[in-house]
Amino acid sequence: MSLTVFPQSFAERLRAFIADSQAVMDLRRYFGIGLPPGVAAYTGSRFEHLAGGGDRLEVADRITAEDLVAVQTLSVTVPASVALDILEGPLGAGLSGLLHAIPRDIDMVEAEVSDLALGSPAARAWQLLEDQPDVGWVIAGKLLARKRPRLLPVYDKVVRCALGRPRPSFWLALHAVLREDDCALHRQLLELRQAAGLPETVSALRVCDVAVWMNHRAVGHACP
């Protein structure tokens, strides 16, 4: 299997965020570990844990009301008309069929390029969501990250501002970097998770997302 080659700048930027000495403290702050009394964790700390997670076996292949609430912890809201179509209409049925074809129990680093490429069930589910009125790429990605937290990353405007828009896609760029050097970055993310005292239910991808997001927000500029 051949891997797509991406500009080194993407890999260098990503590795710099993960290697930053601030990363452990940022993760602990985000997930509410060791905080002083009266200081709350970020609402996004509940994203993967709410109601036992979106990838638990009994709900893995359908988007539930709990998933719609979970994405709100990441500061986005699925429009009511789309939410109803997901819960009760043909949109939900179509998404369920695609989710059934997306691997549930593998990390991105273990996936094949074909699991993430254009035309894959994951990409088709993302496109189906992105095409809905007032949904867009951020909400679509967060919904799918809730359903497949080990395989599909959260990618929003802050992370895009920090890491750029690699081609052909963020998914494939991240996949390639995670697999480089005998999966060194993936192992580093797991070590970072352990150092921060996070549970194993927080995926390597989520560790990556939060470390980048927290660090880049600290810069204090407005992301486009």
pLDDT score at 46 = 97
- Could you tell me the two tokens for 103? 């691997």
Asked whether residue 224 is assigned to any structural domain, the reply reads: no
Give pLDDT, residue 1: 45
pLDDT band at 77 (very low <50, low <70, confident <90, very high): very high
Residue 59 falls inside a structural domain: yes
User: Would residue 222 count as lying in a domain?
Assistant: no
Query: Residue 218's pLDDT is what?
Result: 79
Q: pLDDT tens digits for 202-213?
A: 999 999 999 999
User: Residue 2: inside a domain, yes or no?
Assistant: no
Cα–Cα distance, 144 to 10 (Å, whole number): 23
Residue % of the chain over a pLDDT of 70: 95
Q: Tokens 């709900």 — which residue?
A: 59
Share of the chain above pLDDT 90, in %: 92
**What is the band of 2 on the pLDDT scale with cuts at 50, 70, 90?**
very low
In this prediction, residues 101-106 reach a mean pLDDT of 97
Residue 55 structural domain: 8-35+43-217
**3-class state of residue 131 by DSSP:** coil
* Whole-number Å distance between alpha carbons of 111 and 123: 14
Tell me whether residue 141 is in a domain: yes
pLDDT confidence tier of residue 15, bands split at 50, 70 and 90: very high
Q: At 163, is the pLDDT very low, low, confident or very high (cuts 50, 70, 90)?
A: very high
If you average pLDDT over residues 190-198, what whole number do you get? 98
In-domain check, residue 81: yes
| Residues, the chain | 224
Closest CA to 205 of 14, 41, 6: 14
Q: Is 3 inside any structural domain?
A: no
Question: Is the confidence at residue 70, as pLDDT, over 70?
Answer: yes
Residue 206: closest CA among 144, 153, 139 = 153
Between 1-15, 162-176, 183-197, the lowest mean confidence (pLDDT) is in 1-15
pLDDT at 7: 44
Structural domains in the chain (count): 1
Task: Give the pLDDT confidence score for residue 217 in this predicted structure.
Answer: 87
* Residue 220: per-residue pLDDT: 66
pLDDT at 224: 73
Q: 24 CB contacts (<8 Å, ≥6 apart)?
A: 192, 195, 196
